[in-house]
Chains A and B, each alone.
Chain A
Amino acid sequence: MSWKNIRLVFLREVRDQLRDRRTLFMITILPVLLYPMLGLGIVEMMLTFSEQPRVVVILNADDLPTSPALLDQSGIGEEWFENGAEETSKLRVLAERTPQAGNEEKSARRPRRGEKTDEELLAVAHQLAEKIETLHGLRPVADESMEATATPQPTSAESPESNTSSTISSTDKTAEAASTEAKLTAAQNDISQQFGTSGFQVLVIIPKGYRAAMEAMQREIQTSSSATTGVDAKAVATRVPPVLVVRNSADDKSMVAFGRVQKALQSWEDAVRKFSFEQAGLPKELQHPARLAWIEVALEEQVAASVWSKMFPALLVIMALTGAFYPAIDLGAGEKERGTMETLLISPAKRVELVLGKFATIMLFSTATALLNLLSMGLTGQQMSAVMSDGMANRVSLDFPGLAPLAWLVILLLPLSALFSALCLALATFARSTKEGQYYLTPLLMVVMGLTMFCLSPAVEMTPLYSVIPVVNVALLLKGLLLNSASSGNLVVYAIPVLISSIGYSMLALWWAIELYNSEDVLFREAEKFDIRMWFRQLLRTKDAVPALPEAGFCFILILMLQFVAMTYMKPDLTNGDPGLTMMRLIVIQQLTMIACPAVFMGMLLTTSLRATFRLRMPSITAMALGVGLAIVAHPLTVELSQFLVEHQVFPELPESARQVMGLMKTGDKPTWLLLLVFAVTPAICEELAFRGFILSGLARGGRLAIAVGISSMMFGIIHMIPQQAFNAALLGLVLGLLAIYSRSLFPAMAFHFCNNAIATFHAGEGGRIVADGVFFSRDPDGFLRYDAPLLILCAIAGTLMIMHMIKVVIRDQDAKRRGLVPDFRDLTKGEEVIA
């Protein structure tokens, strides 16, 4: 590898990109100009923007108490709003009052075109009020109370009629609504529809005789509090009928108006309470017995930091990706499309040098785009907040984050853009044309966006597991660091795994790109016409002994999909019968239908030799012994490893469903043969048929066995869903894959799988019989059997030896195979020379 060539390629590509006006525009002009212009636009809009007043209808407004008065001449009084007149102007209150001389001309407001007149609005409101009151069983009650207040009698409060109306109390509205839910749904549609077209957003219904009832109540309190008997609180509260406030939560306009009305009503209610207390001569302190005081300690820059901590990570991730993508398409697929790829490939530069030169270019642009965007956005935000908050009471300043967080930002950006650059370069190299390359952007962007959105949630915090998940790790760390730069000491610890794993992922992606450059069929792929019928016929006609690579991939996706669907439909019904048995039955069904069936069917349909596909060959005795032996030594290692990882919080504890399964093994009320059948025999057969059978055979077809085993074990891990089990499965999948390749038979892998699961079953259940000697075995506080260091070391040595042996044999076989297929050029050339 020569640095000179890498530099040459790098310099050429950078110059090439800089000469491309589109790239320059995307990277420099767009962020530098776009954000300030957007900011300016928003400021302009905010200045010219005025919220449309929303209509609130108050029925029977005459019945509101006069002291304190909720309404003034123009609507709801300013004093009831937090922001006074500003909020009053955003509500148009239409209060229904009995016409009085002098009030007449004021209420005659001329409606705008398409709006309803006040009379129409009131008519609709009355209809609605009637329906709602009937629905909620308020109508007859309201009538009675009206009658009661029409002829006020001091004793009416204790009358039995009033007591029936006690079902509705203002504080108990929700409970009431629940009890009448059945009736409510019947008329709900009608009311909802009428409310939607009514032309008002909130309807307040003041019950008849409201004021009289309230005044009566106040008098009552006054008299009873002065007497020594005390207040019968229940009897007093029931007398005032509730004010109904109707809204539609699904309508934003209604919700905004309702929010305002609610606040106003609440402060009005406070005033009513205050007034009543004063009337009754009760001490003022009783109004706020809890006496709460709220104190804010956030500093201005912390407010800014919390804004930036949400914006910057998301923007950084997305911009680093877009910044990488466009140059990558040009450098990869674009080069193919313009025919310069072949020109470049015949230059003496090595493929690695070409890839690294291109990679460096893309990374430069990715980093530059992200940084320029952040800079421009930060400065615009700062400027905007300064402009907008002028003269505002609660000033929000968006000062730029400090130097330390910014330094972190740059440090973390580098591995992130390295990952994106390598990934984009690989994808762009894989694509036949720039158009095809752009198709790959959408899924990539969606995955990355999804991961970023996940990180934005305030509940998501850095954990050891998240610190090794690509994109998530950088976004979360950055979020934490920007949020509280002062107390980020414990977060910095995570910087090491984040950086190491990110760099690791980018190396992996880079390696993939180099692989693609070395693969001739990717570089010289011709676009073919695709005909689905032709393809399908071809698929069935030209079968091979073992499945093709895409078929293996499809099998995996099919299994995954089936599992996903099954998650909703196959929830065990644990309420009746024997829950354990139901669950075990489900496990067996799931294994058979969702794992074994797809693989076996695809094998029968798409391959000519089930024997070759599923490796149904007699294994050697050594291979079988290796399978059993490895399972025995692997068990303590995996148990301790996963315990270690859980204890260090890399993985969360097992979820409830998995515990239930574990519990099944432990209770011991099931016969051993059944447990073995469900947990060991079935998975050993089904999962091996699918993963070491169909999938591994398809993947290994290309001859790259290490990659095939790696990918198949990753797939094996993925279908186990729960992180902890997935990790275990992926790890064991490596061994299983190696066993299958080594023995060319599925049976040793099945033996391994069976033994592994069987031991795990006994470990959970009958492990109790083993005596904890403190050297090889011990027990943790839960009585769980644990393995100690001496045993683990022995197992590790034995396992390594067996694996090494298998790898050696596989490599030897591979060499022999290769020599048989392609003659060694060295030998041929030597022969030539001898003849010459």
Chain B
Amino acid sequence: MIRVQGLFKEFDDPRSGVFRALDDVTFEVRPGEIYGLLGPNGAGKTTCLRILSTVLRPTRGLVEVDGINVVRNPEGVRSRIGFMSCNTGIYDRMTAWEMVEYYGRLYGIPEEKLQARITEIFNVLQMNDIRDRLGGKMSTGMKQKVSIARTIVHDPPVIIFDEPTSGLDVLVARAVLQAVSSLRDQGKCIIFSTHIMREVEKLCNRIGIIHRGKILAEGTLPELADKYQQPDVEELFFDLIQRREEEVRNSGANSEA
């Protein structure tokens, strides 16, 4: 469903010329599974997911979502994905219903089908009491619900969550995670980025640990624990990152020498 192969992304950096945010990233996500992208801040998670959502263009490499190339047909990709992140805000001067309806229309869903779909989503997510509330007057939890409703209004086969729980309180974060897992149960192909280990342990079928634009390790949790002989994800994570840091330092020293 999601196929990423040899993906590079470079930015023009006023300080050091070129900054390589993604360095030969390769992974694959299948329907009905949640792929966790685990990494510290600035590891390249958001860049990677933004490329998947066609907002950024890859410098090099192959990226396919649902069999469609993100460079050749970005509009096609966008209509097949749902994307939600802590950056995807909602409009202050629109009600919950209008917001979801607006996006539904942008996705080109026929009007009757759209109304039925929104009603269904509002029932499932228990949003009927905020139906006519303006975005500016909502609590963070309500906003997050609207965001989720907006993400899934067109019933996309692929859903991308970029740190969806960052900045949320425990209750709201839990609700979001529940929504994610129920989407997986519907057979969606989900990619989920976070820097919180517990979320990964709870949700993800497979994880990729990313740091400084490189995927350091990939596999199911038991596989990884087996391979690296670490008791839990947290230890594994720190161990991998430390090793990588040392590598970078050594190579830097070598090149200077």
Contacts and interface: CB of A to CB of B under 8 A. Distances in A.
Contact of B106 (A338, A349, A828): A349
A542 interface: yes
A544 B17 contact: yes
A19 B150 CA distance: 21
A829 B72 CA distance: 11
Interface string B1-29: 00001000001101111000000000000
A521 interface: yes
Contact of B94 (A16, A528, A828, A829): A16
Max chain B C-beta neighbours (<10 A), residue from A20, A340, A544: A340
A823 B78 contact: no
Contacts of A12: 94, 102
Interface in A539-583: 542, 544
A528 B14 CA distance: 10
B243 interface: no
Interface in A814-836: 822-823, 825-826, 828-829, 832
B106 A825 contact: no
Contacts of A520: 55-57
B150 A343 contact: yes
A348 B108 contact: yes
Interface in A349-379: 349-350
Contact of B62 (A4, A343, A544, A825): A825
Nearest to A823: B60
Contacts of A605: none
Interface string B94-120: 100000001101111000000000000
Contact of B12 (A343, A347, A521, A523): A521
A25 to B, nearest CB: 15
B89 interface: yes
B235 interface: no
B41 interface: no
Contacts of A342: 55, 85, 87-88
Contacts of A538: 14-15
B137 interface: no
A160 interface: no
A348 B78 contact: yes
A822 B107 contact: no
A329 to B, nearest CB: 15
A8 B114 CA distance: 15
B11 A521 contact: yes
A784 interface: no
A150 interface: no
Contacts of A524: 50, 55-56
Contacts of B192: none
A12 B93 CA distance: 10
A4 B110 CA distance: 12
Nearest to B106: A347
Contact of B60 (A345, A521, A822): A822
Interface string A663-688: 00000000000000000000000000
Contact of A343 (B14, B60, B64, B90): B90
Contact of A345 (B12, B55, B91): B55
Nearest to B79: A348
A340 B69 CA distance: 25
A340 to B, nearest CB: 5
A338 B90 CA distance: 8
B54 interface: yes
B144 interface: no
A339 interface: yes
A346 interface: yes
A542 B16 contact: yes
A12 B106 CA distance: 11
Contacts of A339: 87-89
Given A348-B79, A348-B106, A822-B60, A542 B17 contact: yes
Nearest to A539: B14
Interface of A: 4-5, 8, 12, 15-16, 19-20, 338-340, 342-343, 345-350, 520-521, 523-524, 528, 538, 542, 544, 822-823, 825-826, 828-829, 832
8 contacts: A5-B106, A345-B55, A346-B55, A346-B83, A346-B88, A349-B106, A542-B17, A832-B62
Interface of B: 5, 11-12, 14-17, 50, 53-57, 59-60, 62, 64, 69, 71-72, 75, 78-79, 81, 83, 85, 87-94, 102-103, 105-108, 134, 150
* 4 nearest A-B residue pairs (beta carbon): A339-B89, A348-B79, A19-B93, A343-B88
Given A825-B69, A825-B72, A826-B72, 9 more contacts: A5-B106, A338-B89, A338-B91, A348-B75, A348-B78, A348-B107, A521-B11, A542-B15, A823-B60
